[in-house]
Amino acid sequence: AVSVPGGLHFVAPTELVELPSKGLLYPEGHPLHNQEEIEIKLMTAKEEDILVNKSLLKKGVALDRMLQSIIVNKKIKLDDLLVSDKNALIIAARISAYGADYNAQVTCPNCGVVSDYSFDLEEKELKYLYEHDRDDIRNNENGNFLVTLPKTKVEVEFRLLRGVDEKALIQKNKKNKGVISLTDQFKTFIVSVN
């Protein structure tokens, strides 16, 4: 129940959002370990205010603040979420607040023609990295993955990006005036080589 001025109380409606990770990639002890879904509140005027707050937008934190506000389990921190799970929350919040139709203008990269397009956000197919038909990618016990490179036969351990990694890349992008080297990106998700 949520209290509002004047002593009124109401129950905030919530929904369950399927996690692309199915919770399998979070370590033991993490609130999402082996959890296939996460519960979020539906957006209210409070979250709308967060999304249009000029100060938060300028700092680039409005979306994260809105997401943290709608996550029911306050033990879950955005910096610890896998980027794919965070994106699932963004899409679910967008659908519940504004509907599944997302209208946009799309520019053809070849000819430059601008066309109106409508995306149906509910027409999504979740793909899971751990459910693949590749023999060269293996899961290890800590939620990371191992792949043997085809030419060099070097074994690389990598992990999926989390919210904190995404923030670091955004900061590096700002600092480097929009240029992030592939090396910097690789350093973010490669855990070890051989």
pLDDT tens for 138-163 read 877 777 888 888 899 999 988 888 88
Q: What is the pLDDT of residue 129?
A: 57
List pLDDT tens digits, range 54-78: 999 988 889 999 999 999 999 999 9
d(CA 177, CA 174): 5
- Work out whether the CA dihedral 139, 164, 67, 181 comes out positive or negative: negative
167, pLDDT greater than 90: no
Residue with tokens 């919530």: 14
Token code pair at residue 19: 């996690």
How many CA atoms does the CB half-sphere of 66 hold within 13 Å? 27
User: 70: closest CA among 43, 38, 95, 98?
Assistant: 43
Q: What is the pLDDT of residue 42?
A: 94
